[in-house]
Amino acid sequence: MNRRKFIKKSIVGGTSLLAVSNINMANTWAQSDNKSKVPAILGGQKSYTGQWPVWPEWNPATDEKQLIDVMRSGVWSRSKLTDEFEKKWAQLMGAKRSLAVVNGTNALNTSLAQFEIGWGGDEVLVTPYTFIASVSCILFNGAIPVFVDVDPETFQMDPDKIEEKITPHTRAIIPVHILGLPCDMERIMKIARKHDLLVIEDACQAWMAEINGKKSRDLWKRGMF
Ligand SMILES: Cc1ncc(COP(=O)(O)O)c(C=O)c1O
């Protein structure tokens, strides 16, 4: 059998196996007289019938005018509005300063570059359960991502699993505040201080999230910020 035939056969076999097992599962649920347990995709009741939240959100009355003002000003790079935004954002986050960039990916790329984390075998601890940019920023800068697994209860980086991944090459930790929830920053910062590591928080999914009264921010450096 050549490779092409093997793949074709395994896919057909795998699909029918899946279909049969789904039918069996649905029958078992149906027979147990508990129809609400049948997944909606197999004919069960939908558990959520509302509208999914729409994203991104903006206010046409205020936001659109500001966009048009910038477009018409002819200054499409750093403008007065950017300075204003940075000041207000820093204030809102309780940070000393902020620097606006085009998106979260570039915020992460810039943060690592700022600390010269990159070529030469630098390792950065990050979680595998995240958007690709949390990992690609490490590769983009030439460093090596090392995965620290998440806590299955919270989906956040598990502080208990950090120290076993630290080597003499480790430079930084990127905790990702995934799903709008904050990581256990107190424990992570404690470990970082003990091993003299930088901490760059990926707060792309958790603006304004707080833990113990502190907001998640994009950057901490050895407790400097
Ligand atoms: C956890 C996380 N990190 C980084 C990013 C990258 O942000 P952006 O899409 O603005 O480049 C995202 C975007 O969804 C994200 O969810």
pTM for this structure? 0.75
**Alpha carbon 128 to chain centroid distance?**
10
Query: Is the CB of residue 131 below 6 angstroms from any atom belonging to ligand 1?
Result: yes
pLDDT given at position 9: 58
pLDDT of amino acid 160: 98
The residue length of the chain stands at 225
* Ligand 1 mean position, distance from CA 25 (Å): 37
**Contacts by 86-95, CB closer than 8 A, 24 or more apart:** 92/208, 93/208, 93/215, 93/217, 94/214, 94/215, 95/217, 95/225
Query: Is the CB of residue 133 below 6 angstroms from any atom belonging to ligand 1?
Result: yes
- Taking CA atoms only, the protein residue closest to ligand 1 atom 7 is 104
Atom 8 of ligand 1 has which residue's CA nearest to it?
A: 104
Residue 36 has what pLDDT? 65
- Give dist(CA 207, CA 211) in Å, integer: 12
| 130 pocket-lining for ligand 1 (C-beta < 6 Å) | yes
> What pLDDT is stored for residue 177 in this prediction?
94
| Residue pointed to by tokens 């750093």 | 78
Is 184's C-beta closer than 6 angstroms to any atom of ligand 1? no
pLDDT-flagged residues of the chain (< 50): 12-33, 218-225
pLDDT at res. 225: 33
Instruction: State whether the beta carbon of 176 lies less than 6 angstroms from ligand 1.
Output: yes
Name 143's Cβ contacts closer than 8 Å, sequence gap at least 6: 112, 117, 118, 119, 122, 123, 124, 171
Give the three-class secondary structure for 157: strand
Angle between helical axes of 104-114 and 133-140 (0-180°, round to 10): 40
Residue 137: closest CA among 102, 174, 171, 168: 174
Report DSSP state, residue 103.
Answer: S
- Ligand 1: which atom is nearest the Cα of residue 177? 1
Atom of ligand 1 nearest to the CA of 103: 10
Could you tell me which of 219, 185, 187 has the C-alpha nearest to residue 94?
Answer: 219
Mutate to test the pocket of ligand 1, among 204, 207, 216, 219 (most ligand atoms within 8 A of CB): 204
